[in-house]
Amino acid sequence: RSCIEKVKMVKDQFLYGFTGRNSSAVEFFGGLIDDEINPTERINKLSYVQLIDILDKNFDVYKNKGVTEDFDTCAIICGPVEGRMQCTRYLIKPGEYEKRISVAEKGMKMVSSFLEKHLENFNINEDKEDIVMAIVDAFQVMVDKGIDFDESINNDIVAYFINEGCDRPYITQKLK
């Protein structure tokens, strides 16, 4: 099991996270993160929009040229664009290249996994009064079930929350 935290916060500006091979994620980010998936000084100077511009170019190269058989990553980057929160998801593995963008008008709930089976286990109880706790609970259930079949999961969980703020969305770390 990996002991590398696969979701990181860059200042309070944006989040990035991965599933799949760590080496593939490091290669996709091209010097913006280190081998432990930590942000480098270079990424700390970027806005979310600047980061997405760089990753879009990297994604296009992989899509046009292909990747090696052992390359696999699913990366999600979330950050503010014009006062709203946007999440960009890149799936890159041999023969499969997908970019998906989600934009939140108010709040956003998002989960992504390289293994589609995780998605079957992620069910939010929308009727709960505290929707944040409903999301945390759903995530915990997904991890508890996923640890049986996904070798990349350990039991160290960190949750990040996207807050509306007065002038822009911002991100805080809630649990560890």
Q: How confident is the model at residue 14 (pLDDT cuts 50, 70, 90)?
A: confident
Token couple for 83:
């006062």
What pLDDT digit, counting tens, does each position of 23-60 carry? Answer: 999 999 999 999 888 899 999 999 999 999 999 999 99
Please give the structure tokens belonging to residue 114.
């390289």
Look at residue 42 and give its three-state secondary structure.
Answer: helix
Percent pLDDT > 70 in the chain is 60
DSSP label at 124?
-
Structure tokens at 23: 């080496």
> What is the pTM assigned to this prediction?
0.67
Tokens, residue 73: 């990553």
pLDDT of residue 108: 47
Helices (H), 66-166: 116-120, 131-146
Q: Residue 4: what pLDDT?
A: 62
